[in-house]
Amino acid sequence: MAETRLRTISIISWLALAIAAVIFTVTGLSQAGIDQGAWISEALLWVTAITLVSLLSVPAPSGSRISLGIGAIVAASILTQEVTAFAAATAAALAIAWVFQRRIDTWSHRTDGDFLSDALAAAVFGATYVYMEELFLGWGLSDDAWTVVGAVAIGGLAWFIVRALVAAFVGVERTDLAGRYLWLLALEDWAVVVSILAAGTLFGLTWPVMNVWAFAVAVLPYAFGHLAFERYHSTRVTYGQTIRALAQIPEVAGLAPRGHSTRTADLAVAVAQELGLHPNDVIQLEYAALMHDVGRITLNEPAILKAGYTDEDIARWGAQIIAEAPYLEHVSALVEQQHRPYRSPGIEIDPDVPMASKIIKVASAYDQAQIEMGLSPVEALEKIHQGSAYEFDPQVAASLRRVLVFRGAIPY
Amino acid sequence: MFPNELVRQQKAKVRLAVGFGVAGVVVLGILFAVQEFPTPLWLWALFAVVFVFFEWNTVEVNDKLYASPSAMVIMTAAVAFGYESAVLGAAYMAALALLTPDDIRERRWFQPAVNFGQLVITVSAAAGVYVVVRGSEPVSTSNLWRVALASGIAAITYGFVNYQLVLFIVRSVYGHREANPWSHMTSILLPMTGMGFLGGLLGATYVLVGSASIPLIGIVFFTGYMAFESYAQLREAQLSTLAGFIKALEAKDLYTRGHTERVAYFANMIGQAMGFNGTQLEKLRWAALIHDVGKLAVPREVIRKKARLTDDEYGEMQAHVHHVEDLLNEVEFLRPMVDIASNHHAHFDGNGYHGSTGETGETPSLEARILAVADSFDAMTSTRSYRVALTQEYAFGELRKNAGSQFDPDVVEVFVSALSASGERYGSPIEISEEEARRRAEQGIGHSHAATESPHMDTNRGRGSEAAHG
């Protein structure tokens, strides 16, 4: 249902943009004393430029891809003297880019939600930019590069906030994610956004005085950053894959149930996102959940298997193994704490047990109840509820229930 | 090293430090007389800080391309300062970079004095060339091509002078060392020219657009730099995670402890001696790290079994190893390394066990051949469940005996000479025959690091020689 609603919103916003483009064109051309030929060629030039640049995107730390279109929109807003030409060009270009994007979405990696937030944010940027520039000039500031930079900075901030809000709104509509989580996720991207805005502004300011050399000045330095963002993104993907692969060694060795680590991680991440944990904590939690049973590799040793072991031993051995990797100290600590009850007699809630560890405990137990005892999802969840006197945090259990309801695993 | 050689080096260092120090001061003095100090002062200070920062932190794009943003900053500054003060401004900026944090911490004075002179001379030469090529005409839209050209040429000068000075310093201190001045020139000058060209244009941007362009350029570069740093850190994290993890898993088993690390070390040694570049070495190091990871999933009693494995046990072991290979194959960038690792038991002549990807009769890749030598050498020089460690000489002999059939003869020779040259020694310190080694193992002598990789796993079940075990 949420999907259909999103589709409707997207189509309405597309129509709104197309209508806006027509209205701006009509009002622009009917202004007194306007050179119509110049107006049209200027608008067409920017329609082309913004459309093409909008199709390029860069992977941001949050995992979403940010369109470079805003860079072109910034340049256009600085370079076009006619406000209506700028507005018409932006609206038309975004509408066209969206259609393109839908055709080649495997290539541009962007979704309708991204488009919607870009379109709204672009409109907000344009309005803020024009308003701020007039305001600055009204204050008696000179019409120089600093005024432009100031107006772009405030317009860019507005653009960023709107984009983050829309992303949070669309995300909540579409999945079982907390708005807070999505908002924090969007904030992770500020460096990429600032970089694109600065490159666009640089182009807008240098084009009149440097002509084609403006491409070198604005594009080359940005390209360096773009390459770095791309590489960072691909390394993060392979880092996750590496941990996923290593985590499965005990399963391959037959010392842990097949697929348990992956399912636990999947569920734990969903619960963490539903609860609105910080995105950085969610990544750590994902790694910890994937590797929560890695200590079981120790059971390879017949002597240890014979001597017997407890959940605490598995957690401790796992933490020792993970601690060997210098960048995973925090993950190691989470794994070590995973067996602990969230409270004990006389203590309301144990403050030393991190939220992430409590989530892993619940997710792991839920999966185990299903595969080891053969329980149905409802029965497995019931087991968690029964254990919530000491073992399982009720707050986490409630969140798990919401996630399962959302996924259709259990009835509402 | 002979004491008189040390004395000679010490004297050369003192001469260089004094010479370069004085030369630097003289150049700065002359510039002070002929040029003006740049205005505004804050701009000079800003460029100086950025320059010093980049001198201390080089950005390594990849092993073939060392970007040197400091040359770029010099060109930006030279263009921004203008004809009257370009050289002076740039040279005084360079003078500030003389002390690096490491030098200060270790209270060295030779390095800073030489650095100071070297940088001042290099930067003055580059800025001087720029001023001469460009002329005194102010920057404008119509002469930008000339700004770009002059900055490019100046950057080449920077790279060339810097390289020659470094070479001169190395030769004065270590006179006998051979160095070919041209072999690395293209890899240094090419990016240098590009950086200089861009630096010049950025300086022109400041002149034409005004001070508002400074934060914009700064932001674009800074975010790019930060992203590169986090990328480099993440890459490092990935390698150390895998290495640490495998080390920890191995350590859970007393018997295989350290094997992977040593094999990676030997493989790296061979790769270096064979002239591998950074990317190739890294690939080899990854392959060595994962070459035995499959065995971690094999039950210990199978690994440690002294008798020949039954077909079922052998099949089970193969299945486990293949499962782990499948897991690692899911990590995109590890795929080529998994391929190498899974082929490391294949023989040079095409026989032997070829892993899940290789074909019998096929010569394994060079990396797999290197890994085979490194792995077998460590297997022979460490104690196993069925015999104690053999001597290094014995291991070399076995490698040579099987060169051409099991091992690549070139790799064997490179390894033997590299390890001999390093002066490191592995294996048993006392002469010991193979029979004696087996007998001692049976009696439990020398079992302190008892080991055990099974002799059954590799090989085509017995057809391989002793050297194949690993």
DSSP B331-372: SGGGHHHHHHHHTTTB-TTS-B--TTT--TTSPPPHHHHHHH
DSSP A309: -
Q: B270-273: long-range contacts (C-beta < 8 A, 24 or more apart)? A: B270/B370, B270/B373, B270/B374, B270/B411, B270/B414, B270/B415, B270/B418, B271/B370, B272/B418, B273/B414, B273/B415, B273/B417, B273/B418
Which are the contacts of B362, defined by CB distance < 8 A and separation ≥ 6?
B346, B350, B354
- pLDDT of the residue at B451: 37
Q: Is A139 in a helix, a strand, or coil?
A: coil
Q: What is the pLDDT of residue A108?
A: 47
Contact A86, A46 (CB under 8 A): yes
Q: Are A10 and A116 in contact (CB under 8 A)?
A: yes
Structure tokens at A113: 């939600």
- Phi-psi group of A84: left, alpha or beta (phi > 0 → left; psi -120 to 50 → alpha; rest → beta): alpha
**pLDDT, tens digit (0-9, with 9 covering 90-100), for A52-66:** 888 888 888 887 788
CA angle A182, A187, A192 (to 5 degrees): 125
> Averaged over A295-309, what is the pLDDT?
81
Q: Which amino acid is at A149?
A: V
Answer yes or no: are the C-beta atoms of B264 and B285 closer than 8 Å: yes
Q: What is the pLDDT of residue B345?
A: 79
Beta bridge partners of B352: B346
Amino acid at B403: A
Please list every residue in chain A whose beta carbon sits closer than 8 Å to the beta carbon of residue B293. 249
Q: Would you say how long chain A is, in residues?
A: 412
Chain center to CA of A336: 29
Give the pLDDT band of residue A265 (cuts 50, 70, 90). Answer: very high
Instruction: Return the pLDDT at A215.
Output: 92
- Rounded distance, CA A399 to CA A406, Å? 11
Whether the CB of B247 is below 8 Å from some CB of chain A: the reply is yes
pLDDT confidence tier of residue A157, bands split at 50, 70 and 90: very high
B40 cis-preceded (ω within 30 degrees of 0)? yes
SS3 B427: strand
CA A321, CA A335: separation in Å to the nearest integer? 10
Q: Which residues of B touch A201 (CB under 8 A)?
A: 216
DSSP code per residue over A208-238: HHHTTHHHHHHHHHHHHHHHHHHHHHHHHHH
Kindly report which listed range (A38-52, A284-298, B61-75) carries the lowest average pLDDT score. Answer: B61-75
Number of Cβ within a 10 Å radius of residue B280: 15
Looking at CA atoms only, how far is residue B108 from chain A in angstroms?
31
Instruction: For residue B178, give the amino acid letter.
Output: E
Phi/psi of residue B391, nearest 5 degrees: -80, 165
Contact criterion met (CB below 8 Å) for A187 and A180: no
CA dist B163 and A288 (Å) reads: 48
Element (H, E) at A57: strand A57-59
Q: Which residues of B touch A240 (CB under 8 A)?
A: none
Is a pLDDT exceeding 70 seen at residue A127?
yes
Which ipTM score applies to this complex? 0.81
Other CB atoms within a 10 A radius of the CB of residue A14 amount to 19
Give every CB contact of residue A374 below 8 A, 6+ residues apart in sequence: none
Specify the pLDDT at position A186.
79
Task: Please state the rounded mean pLDDT for residues A241-265.
Answer: 89
Which of A216, A231, A328 lies closest to B231 in CB terms?
A231
Q: How many whole angstroms separate alpha carbon B453 and alpha carbon B304?
A: 7
Query: Chain B contacts of A194, Cβ < 8 Å?
Result: 219, 223
Where is pLDDT greater, at A334 or A54? A334
Please, which pLDDT band fits residue A182 given cuts at 50, 70 and 90? confident
Work out the average pLDDT over A125-145.
Answer: 86
pLDDT band at A282 (very low <50, low <70, confident <90, very high): very high
Consecutive H or E run containing A58? strand A57-59
> How many CA atoms does the CB half-sphere of A124 hold within 13 Å?
20
Question: Distance between CA B359 and CA A406 in Å, rounded?
Answer: 49
Alpha helices for A248-354 (secondary structure H)? 249-252, 260-275, 279-290, 302-307, 311-323, 329-337
Give pLDDT, residue B60: 56
Q: A220 near B198, Cβ under 8 Å?
A: yes
The candidate with the shortest Cα–Cα distance to B407, out of B345, B340, B329, B316, is: B345
Neighbouring-strand partners of residue B427: B391
Q: Determine contact, residues A409/A380, Cβ cutoff 8 Å.
A: no
pLDDT for position A6: 65
Beta-carbon separation of A224 and B212 below 8 A: no
Contact A320/B297, CB-based, under 8 Å? no
Convert B235-267 to b/e letters by CB count within 10 Å (16 or more is b): bebbbbbbbbbbbbbbebbebbeebbbbbbebb
Distances (CA, A) of B180 to A253, B9, B163, B168, B184: 53, 21, 11, 12, 8
The pLDDT of residue A106 is above 70: no
Using a CB–CB cutoff of 8 Å, tell me whether B139 touches chain A: no
CA distances B239 to A175, A238, A244, B245, Å, are 34, 11, 14, 10
Find, in chain B, the residue whose alpha carbon is nearest to that of A231: B231
* B220, B240, B251 member nearest A225 (Cβ): B220
User: Cα–Cα distances in Å, from A46 out to A39, A70, A103, A128, A212?
Assistant: 11, 12, 22, 19, 16
SS3 call for B61 = strand
d(CA B192, nearest CA chain A) in Å: 14
Token pair 């405030």 in the structure block, residue: A154
What's the pLDDT band for A34 if we cut at 50, 70, 90? confident
Segments of chain B scoring below 50 in pLDDT? 62-65, 446-470
Of all residues in chain A, the one with the smallest CA distance to B325 is: A245
CB contact under 8 A, A217 and B202: yes
SS3 A198: helix
Average pLDDT over residues A106-112: 55
In contact, A126 and A86? CB cutoff 8 Å: yes
Q: E strands, B111-231, where?
A: none
Binary contact (A249, B215; C-beta < 8 A): no
Which of A324, A329, A332 should be substituted to probe chain B, the one whose Cβ sees the most B Cβ atoms within 10 Å?
A: A324
Say which amino acid occupies A227: L
Residue B289 in tokens: 């790290």
Cα distances (Å, whole numbers) of residue B116 to A91, B11, B112, B161, B421:
56, 19, 6, 14, 37
B241 and A231 within 8 Å at the Cβ level: the answer is no
For residue A120, name the pLDDT band (cuts at 50, 70, 90): confident
Q: How many CB atoms lie within 10 A of CB A16?
A: 15
Write the residue in B148, B244, B323 that is nearest to A325 by C-beta. Answer: B244
Q: Kindly report the pTM of this predicted structure.
A: 0.82
